[in-house]
């Protein structure tokens, strides 16, 4: 998996707004899709890992869905808070976790 | 307890020098990685290494070499540092899942390298 795209590149929302962004990847040889949250001046932290088409994961106000047939995943944040401001990275893997490639990220800024 | 640690946190050095960045993980993981955060803030894999196999990103100059004294450590050695090597370098570790999806990577805090 070489070509991972995320959109939008950056996003500004008001506190309380809900938002979502997209990760696109080649659907062939897909094995798993990881989402990471990366705050400025910190290290990336894992949010979710999904494998099956139609998978949906939820962690508090953040949820993610996966479509392996068409090669995309959505990340949703409900009621955004300033502490949600971060870069959200997706990373598809193939061949049982090899070729772990990060997307360019979506940079989210939540304005109070 | 810090799961993945890196030292130093900051490194400022002159062009042409040789330097090392150390990484240690106390998670008992078998696989460790080095990433470079490039000028566009993208996270690019440099190496992945376990006790069986070293996988090198072919775009990484051979001035960069990983050294693993044991399973818990993967140090990054850089020879003849160049200005373009200035970046943030992240170490990470994961546990191969043997077919189950538990490949989540745990990252160190990063080392900010500045080459003058």
Report pLDDT digits (tens) over B56-107. 777 899 999 999 888 899 999 999 999 999 999 999 998 866 655 547 889 9
Taking only residues 27 to 56 of chain B, the set having a beta carbon closer than 8 angstroms to any beta carbon of chain A reads 33, 35, 40-45, 48, 55
Between the two ends of chain A, the Cα-to-Cα distance in Å is 38
Q: How far apart are CA A49 and CA A55, in angstroms?
A: 10
> Closest residue of B to A43, CA-based?
B109
Mean pLDDT of A32-51: 91
Tell me the pLDDT band of A94, cut-offs 50, 70 and 90: confident
Q: How far apart are CA A28 and CA B31, in angstroms?
A: 25
Specify the pLDDT at position A99. Answer: 60
Residue A102 to residue B105, Cβ atoms within 8 A? no
- DSSP letter string over A76-89? EESS--GGG-EEEE
- Chain A positions touching B45 (Cβ under 8 A) are 100-102
**Tokens at A65, concatenated:** 């869905």
Least confident of A27-31, A106-110, B3-7, B9-13: A27-31
- Chain A positions touching B103 (Cβ under 8 A) are 32, 34, 49, 93, 96-97, 100
Q: How far apart are CA B86 and CA B66, in angstroms?
A: 17
Specify the pLDDT at position B95. Answer: 83
Give which of B6, B88, B105 to mutate to test A binding, by max A Cβ within 10 Å: B105
Strands B4-7 and B10-13: unpaired
Which pairs with CB-CB distance under 8 Å and at least 24 residues apart come from A81-87? Answer: A81/A15, A81/A110, A82/A15, A82/A110, A82/A111, A82/A112, A83/A110, A84/A108, A84/A110, A85/A39, A85/A109, A85/A110, A86/A37, A86/A38, A86/A39, A86/A40, A87/A37, A87/A38, A87/A39, A87/A40, A87/B41
């Amino acid at each position: 998996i070489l070509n991972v795209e995320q959109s939008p590149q950056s996003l500004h929302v008001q506190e309380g707004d809900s938002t979502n962004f997209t990760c696109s990847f080649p659907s062939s040889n897909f094995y798993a899709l990881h989402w990471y949250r990366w705050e400025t001046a910190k290290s990336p932290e894992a949010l979710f890992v999904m494998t099956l088409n139609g998978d949906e994961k939820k962690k508090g106000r953040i949820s993610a869905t996966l479509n392996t047939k068409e090669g995309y995943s959505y990340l949703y944040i409900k009621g955004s808070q300033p502490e949600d401001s971060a870069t959200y990275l997706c990373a598809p893997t193939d061949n049982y976790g090899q070729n772990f490639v990060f997307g360019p990220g979506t940079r989210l800024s939540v304005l109070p | 307890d810090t799961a993945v640690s890196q030292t130093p946190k900051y490194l400022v050095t002159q062009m042409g020098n040789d330097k090392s960045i150390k990484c240690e993980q106390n998670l008992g993981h078998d696989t460790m990685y080095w990433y470079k955060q490039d000028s566009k803030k993208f996270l690019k894999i440099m190496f992945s290494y376990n006790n069986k196999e070293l996988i090198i990103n072919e775009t990484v100059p051979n001035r960069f070499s990983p050294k693993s004294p044991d399973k818990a450590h993967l140090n990054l050695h850089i020879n003849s540092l160049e200005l373009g090597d200035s970046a943030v370098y992240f170490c990470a570790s994961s546990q191969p899942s043997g077919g189950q999806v538990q490949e989540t990577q745990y990252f160190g805090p990063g080392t900010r390298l500045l080459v003058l």
